[in-house]
Amino acid sequence: MMTNKLTPLREQIDAIDAQILDLLNRRAQVAQAVGHIKAATRAPVFRPEREAQVLRGVVERNPGPMGDADVRTIFREIMSACRALERRVVVAYLGPVGTFTEQAVYQQFGSAVDALPCASIDEVFRAAEAGTADFGVVPIENSSEGAINRTLDLLLQTSLIISGEVSIHVHHSLMTKTGSMDGVSFICAHSQALAQCQAWLNQHYPTIERRAVASNAEAARMASGDATVAAIASEMAGEQYQLGVVQAHVQDDPHNRTRFAIIGQLQTEPSGADQTSLVLAVPNKAGAVYHLLAPLAKNGVSMTRFESRPARMGAWEYYFYVDIEGHSHDPAVAQALLELKDNAAFFKVLGSYPLNSI
């Protein structure tokens, strides 16, 4: 009886799948035509503002029952596959394989890219600056531990532009070669991950030495070859290095997220829902910061982030990393930036780019 009921439904699914396949290939043919035009004009293959508009559009038109997040994932992969027909984009990231930064690469670009693991954040910047990679993905801020200082320092120095952002949930797991803590002498992870799990570790394994390493995936690699090492890393890294999970979700904050910046040579155009990142410095005098930021309120521009960082020049001076709503081409934002530049001792626009939709 069940077979009799399922058969006509499966036939419908087969027919719909055939239509979907036909439409996908028709879309790919149009994408190829777009690619020919781009190649003739040397236009960039990846346009983050255009892809952001497509994703926002399909979510707005989505009637359900499929959820918006699933719709975004499907269409991101469709765009990624079609983009690869033009040329596969090379994306550098903080490796090795299995890091949260690699996860951010695929969340932003889809899986049809060439992901290039790098040993450090500095190497990601170098790869994008040298043209070895089209883009780089670097962590910029964690909801529990704050800014990633090395990324902020390098953004100050580089000629690269932020052309996008992606935010992902960060769920840490404690893993070992055997799936137990028997014989473990060290718990290894990136320093940020150790900080994000500090309270849990203090409660459950207060006497085991903790060692900071270059990345969580590196910790997983070490644990795969040494039963005395436990790693804190993503479950993706655990699968990559065939580790057993001792305890999942050991981060202190269940809502722990990390924000990543997409860096490259590309200046994005307005997408309709954008953000602009700046670095500012002011003369060391009373009221300087207040007067510096006054043009934002004057022009009706909202500030969404304000982070200070020592200037490292031997005096008590700071750079201020600021995010504001809108694109630098928007009239109100453009006027505010012009006035900010006049007030600032140092002024740099890091980039305008689509707001993260997740």
Which positions are catalytic? 258, 260
Asked whether the CA dihedral 237, 239, 240, 243 is positive or negative, the reply is positive
Q: What dihedral do alpha carbons 147, 148, 154, 157 form, nearest 10°?
A: 10
**Dihedral angle over CA of 284, 313, 263, 274, nearest 10:** -10
211 by Cβ neighbours in 10 Å (0-12 / 13-18 / 19+) ranks as: middle
SS3 label, residue 193: helix
* Residue count (the chain): 358
CA angle 191, 324, 286 (to 5 degrees): 85
Closest CA to 173 of 200, 207, 148, 145: 200
Which residue type is seen at 88?
R
- Angle at which helix 288-298 crosses helix 331-343, to 10 degrees, equals 160
Q: Give the pair of three-digit tokens for residue 104.
A: 């951010």
Within 8 A by CB and 6+ apart from 281, the residues are 311, 317, 318, 319, 320, 344, 345, 346, 347
- Cα separation, 33 vs 52, in Å, equals 21
> In angstroms, what CA-CA distances link 14 with 10, 22, 24, 143, 186?
6, 12, 15, 44, 53
Distance CA 316, CA 187 (A): 37
